[in-house]
Amino acid sequence: MNDISGFMRDELLCHGAALVGFGDLSALPPGERAGMPVGVAVAVVYPGDVIRRIANGPTAEYREHYDRLNEKLDMLVTLGADALKALGYQAIPQTREVVRRGANAGQDAETLLPHKTVATRAGLGWIGKCALLVTREYGSAVRISSILTDAPLKTARPVDGSRCGSCTACAEACPGHAVLGREWSAGIPREEFYDAELCRTAARKQSLAGFGADISLCGKCIEICPHTRKYIIPSASRPDSLGEDAPDR
């Protein structure tokens, strides 16, 4: 790892990031990455007890942490981009405001590079059957954001395929039947393994029932994922199938 990479990782971790990775974006079309060859993926993590308590539906506490973690991510990627700019490099923090400005300018929501693409290119994890990032450390109990830059950061080996295997936990638990069952691989259209409209409709019902808000926030696929459960459930309390020696699924 070169000095800039180590500096950036330490800077983001010491300000509250749970995971930081650097990905080579040069194989992607320049328009998708704003001409930047490197992506910085940043993840923050939900407290385990918050995720445990949404087993029967989303809670006001979960919504509060969702909003809080999004604010924290905006702070982290802004801080990281400012640090890179101070070193003389270009950097675009993909904050919620940057995404909104792009939408207001008439750009499609997909014009900016998805955070999950940056995260998989940076080796943080893979995309689960429910279309969420799955990490080895925290499962899907994370929120993510990213920075696009031309800084010469030491990039990781990308993750190009699913590690969910035959697991169907999220598909079976999804209240909207939005998980279609196919495994993700790099480049596959999301619509081939996940129905976003079914998810939004069901999540809105879950939010209304759980804490009275007319928003799309569910979280069941996060809570039920075996990789999440390795994080949120103490090992002594896990069923054998979720133990540390269980095969990756």
Per-residue pLDDT tens for 86-111? 999 999 999 999 877 755 655 554 44
pLDDT, position 244: 38
**Structure confidence by residue, pLDDT tens digits, 144-163:** 999 999 999 999 999 999 99
> Quick one: what percent of the chain has pLDDT higher than 70?
89
Looking at 3, 49, 82, 108, which residue is catalytic? 108
Q: Is 108 a catalytic residue?
A: yes
Confirm if 138 and 231 have CB atoms less than 8 A apart: yes
- pLDDT-based confidence at 35, cuts 50/70/90? very high
pTM above 0.85, yes or no: yes
